[in-house]
Amino acid sequence: MLALLAAFALAAAAAVPPPPTPAAARLDALFDAPGTPYLNGAVLAGENGRVVYARAFGFADRAMRAPNTVDARFQTASLSKVFTSTAILQLADAKRLRLDDPVVAHLRAFPFPAITIRHLLSHTSGLPDLELYEPLVAREPDRVIANADVLPALAEWKQGLAFTPGSQFRYCNTNYVVLALIVEQASGMPFARYLERRVFAPAGMRDTYVRTRDTPPDPRVVKNHVLPAVYDTLPVDVTTVHLKDPVTMRHIRYETYNLGATLGDQNVITTLPDLFRFAEALQQGKVLRPATLAEATTAVRFTDGTIRNEPYDPYNTRCSYGLGWDVCDDAERGKLIGHSGYNRGIATMLYIDRAKRQTVVAFDNEDGEDFDPKFASIVNVLTGRPPLDVDRRVSLTREYGRLLLERGANVALIRYNEMRADTAHFTGTQRGLNRLGYDLLHNGYTAESLEPFRINVVLHPDDANVYDSYAEALAANGRNEDAIAMYEKALQLDPSRESAKKALARLRGTR
């Protein structure tokens, strides 16, 4: 009864808008500052079991003009891994498995006997990542990869492991798909059911579930929005993207369609209030024993005794990886734990300051540009620190690309020069302009692609790459003599450009 009352109390705390505080005022000021919208998603912060800030921004479904809400459901992407880790650690506590068991002890068809469960949890296995399924999808382009495909795909894998298990860190989604299979074998129940009964229910996560291929469409799940090409300025649902560029479309389709149904590494659907409940349940010992959580959030050591100790610029600290958790040791704040998630069109983050019992969770369902520094700024402002310097200016490259297609080259050029002079409100880079040219070239706008490449040559006359790129577009437009001149200039500036040498030889051979 007491647990039930506590769950209702937490639900009420998440549903009722928190009272205004100085920290909330600082966050509102951050979000409402001039510039492009800070997020298209939502953020929730809590301290000591109480929600202290919650706010939503932008659209859950831009096409339908449906607004985001704080309790909107979203795909957690790789943040799902913390739930898979929790399940494995529960089963270890229940003596159904040991973390140092070889995987093959639980999955006989697993072809790498040196890899242990701990290696999978800590991303130190050396297994292949998303490239594992490329041969299968090449044979069957419409194949939607399921967890049942992972062991046969590993059996077919001829390149071996990337390194000796335990010796290095390499983030790998395959690890967590295999862990989901181990959860099923050790528990005797489907992975989704296990999480719902043993993780979500004890944590009071009533709005959370594992999305499987049998899950009916859920209108509360936000759409994942992307900007497909540099000339696009309005994000669209990633499932509706259609580009002529076969390379880009192959990547988008592979990641969102072919690989969109695996479990363990992704596909937990949740809300920000439920993530807050999970963080509270973790720290209260409701889903893991305190000693087990401590082990999970301790940096894993490699076989040579060292740990991964990578700089993480958004927090100006160094971070490592435990058993399903990012672990950062901050000089001022102490141990910080959490996890992020990224799929095309969605970015998610869970942050826990255990010493302060402070949790921040957020999602952005429009590409999540600069999401890491933006999220770190939210944490900083919440704790009285200054935000990071996040550029909120408008992309002049995108605006120029849109005008080029809508109004023509001359109008677009006039506006480009105006925007380029207005550095307070617009920003652009040589690389962005080059990418715009290729996006136009590869998507059927062959003549229009010449314009951004030509601008880059004017603005960066000492860079070999801009001449090389412009030459490629000129050749695609049948202007071979002009293309030859540009390739020659590129090689004059950088004689080592082998691709330019080959292209130049081909063009000279057509004279």
Q: What amino acid is encoded at 379 in this protein? A: V
For 164, the token pair is 């000796």
pLDDT-based confidence at 191, cuts 50/70/90?
A: very high
What's residue 334's pLDDT? 85
User: Mean pLDDT across the stretch 457-477?
Assistant: 97
Q: Where are the domains of the chain?
A: 79-199+215-268+279-360, 429-509
Rounded Cα gap, residues 10 and 206, in angstroms: 12
Q: What amino acid is encoded at 91 in this protein? A: L
pLDDT-based confidence at 14, cuts 50/70/90?
A: very low
Superfamily of 429-509 according to CATH: Tetratricopeptide repeat domain (1.25.40.10)
Q: What amino acid is encoded at 274 in this protein? A: D
Render pLDDT for 133-164 as a digit per residue (tens, 0 to 9): 999 999 999 999 999 999 999 999 999 999 99
> Are the CB atoms for 337 and 363 separated by under 8 Å?
no
Q: Is the pLDDT of residue 3 over 50?
A: no
Do the domains at 79-199+215-268+279-360 and 429-509 have one common CATH topology?
no
pLDDT-based confidence at 368, cuts 50/70/90?
A: low
**Containing H/E element for 11?**
helix 2-15
What's residue 432's pLDDT? 97
Query: What Å distances lie between residue 213 and 217, 224, 263, 399, 465, CA to CA?
Result: 10, 18, 10, 39, 45
To the nearest whole percent, how much of the chain has pLDDT over 90? 90
pLDDT-based confidence at 11, cuts 50/70/90?
A: very low
* Neighbouring C-beta atoms of residue 47, cutoff 10 Å: 18
To the nearest whole percent, how much of the chain has pLDDT over 70? 96
Query: What Å distances lie between residue 428 and 235, 405, 418, 425, CA to CA?
Result: 19, 18, 12, 11
Residues with Cβ within 8 Å of 14's Cβ and at least 6 positions away in sequence, in order, are: 44, 51, 54, 71, 273, 276, 277
Q: What amino acid is encoded at 226 in this protein? A: V
Rounded Cα gap, residues 238 and 407, in angstroms: 26
For 508, the token pair is 């000279």
What's residue 4's pLDDT? 35
Query: What Å distances lie between residue 271 and 144, 222, 310, 436, 464, CA to CA?
Result: 26, 10, 30, 36, 49
What's residue 331's pLDDT? 80
Render pLDDT for 334-363 as a digit per residue (tens, 0 to 9): 889 999 999 999 999 999 999 999 999 999
What's residue 317's pLDDT? 86
For 74, the token pair is 């979203």
pLDDT-based confidence at 2, cuts 50/70/90?
A: very low
What's residue 1's pLDDT? 37
User: Mean pLDDT across the stretch 363-369?
Assistant: 86
User: Mean pLDDT across the stretch 12-34?
Assistant: 79
Of 91, 113, 110, nearest to 102 by C-alpha is 113
For 79, the token pair is 């943040």
For 463, the token pair is 């860079």
Render pLDDT for 114-132 as a digit per residue (tens, 0 to 9): 999 999 999 999 999 999 9
Collapsed DSSP state (helix, strand, coil) of residue 373: helix
pLDDT-based confidence at 17, cuts 50/70/90?
A: low
For 230, the token pair is 């540099």
What's residue 503's pLDDT? 94
Q: Is the pLDDT of residue 9 over 50?
A: no
**DSSP sequence for 140-158:** -TT----GGGHHHHHHH--
Of 167, 144, 72, nearest to 361 by C-alpha is 72
For 229, the token pair is 């090409």
Query: What Å distances lie between residue 242 and 138, 344, 345, CA to CA?
Result: 20, 14, 15
Rounded Cα gap, residues 459 and 450, in angstroms: 14
> Are the CB atoms for 74 and 66 separated by under 8 Å?
no
CATH T-level topology, domain 79-199+215-268+279-360: Beta-lactamase (3.40.710)
Q: Which residues pair with 310 in a beta bridge?
A: 319
**How many angstroms from the chain centroid is the CA of residue 80?**
12
Q: Is the pLDDT of residue 472 over 90?
A: yes
Whole-model pTM?
A: 0.92
Collapsed DSSP state (helix, strand, coil) of residue 306: coil
Collapsed DSSP state (helix, strand, coil) of residue 36: coil
Q: What amino acid is encoded at 264 in this protein? A: G
Rounded Cα gap, residues 449 and 441, in angstroms: 5
Render pLDDT for 420-464 as a digit per residue (tens, 0 to 9): 999 999 999 999 999 999 999 999 999 999 999 999 999 999 999
What's residue 239's pLDDT? 95
Rounded Cα gap, residues 163 and 304, in angstroms: 13
Cα pseudo-dihedral 251, 257, 262, 264, rounded to 10? 70
Q: Which residues pair with 361 in a beta bridge?
A: 44, 350
State the average pLDDT for the chain. 94
Rounded Cα gap, residues 29 and 69, in angstroms: 19
What's residue 146's pLDDT? 97
